Structure 1
Amino acid sequence: MNLANKITVARMMLIPFFFLFLQTYPSWLTERIPALSFMNSYGLYIATAIFILAAATDKLDGYIARKYNMITNIGKLLDPLADKLLISVALIMLVQKHMLPSWVAFIIIARELVITALRIVASARRIALAADHYGKLKLVLQVVAIVAVLLDNYPFQLIIDIRIDYIIMLAAVVITIYSGYNYIRNNYVRLELNR
Structure 2
Amino acid sequence: MIWNIPIGLTWMRIALIPLFTILFYLPKHWIEPQTINIAAAAIFAIAGITDWLDGFLARHWKQTSDFGAFLDPVADKLMVAVALILLVKLDRTLAIYAMIIIGREITISALREWMAQMGKRNSVAVAYVGKLKTAAQMAAIFLLLLDTLPSSTINLHDIGNLLMFIASILTIWSMFYYLKMAWKEFQ
TM-score, scaled relative to structure 1: 0.84
Look at both structures and tell me which one has the larger radius of gyration over its CA atoms.
1
Equivalent-residue separation in structure 1 for 2:154 and 2:20 (angstroms): 29
- Cα 1:185–1:10 shift into 2, 3 Å: same
Distance in 2 between the 1:87 and 1:81 partners? 10
Evaluate the alpha carbon distance shift between residue 60 and residue 161 of structure 1 in structure 2; reply closer, same or farther with a 3 A threshold. Answer: closer
Q: Are 1:132 and 2:123 counterparts?
A: no
Q: Aligned match of 1:54 in 31, 40, 47?
A: 47
Pairwise CA RMSD of aligned residues? 2.2
Matched, 1:143 2:134: no
Check conservation: 2:104, 2:175, Cα contact below 8 A: yes
Counterparts of 1:134 and 1:19, CA distance in 2 = 29
Q: What SS does structure 1 have at the residue aligned with 2:121?
A: coil
User: Number of paired residues?
Assistant: 182
Considering Cα pairs closer than 8 Å and 6+ residues apart, tell me whether 1 or 2 has the greater RCO. Answer: 2
Correspondence for 1:33? none
- Structure-2 separation of matches of 1:147 and 1:8: 19
Deviation readout 1:114-167 (Å, 9 max, x if unpaired): 101111211222332422222222112111000111122559x61579922211
- SS of the aligned residue for 1:164 comes to helix
3-state DSSP of counterpart to 1:38: coil
Picking from 31, 36, 39, the partner of 1:43 is: 36
Distance 1:131 1:162, change over 3 A: closer
**Structural mapping, 1:1-195, within 5 Å:** 1-23=3-25, 25=27, 37-38=30-31, 42-129=35-122, 130-152=125-147, 154=149, 158-159=153-154, 163-190=158-185, 192=186
Structure 1: 5+ residue runs without aligned partners? 31-36
Identity of aligned residues (%): 35
Deviation at 1:40, TM superposition (A): 5.1
Query: CA, structure 1 residues 138+183, in 2 after alignment: closer, same or farther (shift >3 Å)?
Result: same
Contact in 2 for aligned 1:24/1:40 (Cα 8 Å): no
> Does the CA-based 8 Å contact 1:135-1:179 persist in structure 2?
yes
Unaligned runs of 5+ in 2: none
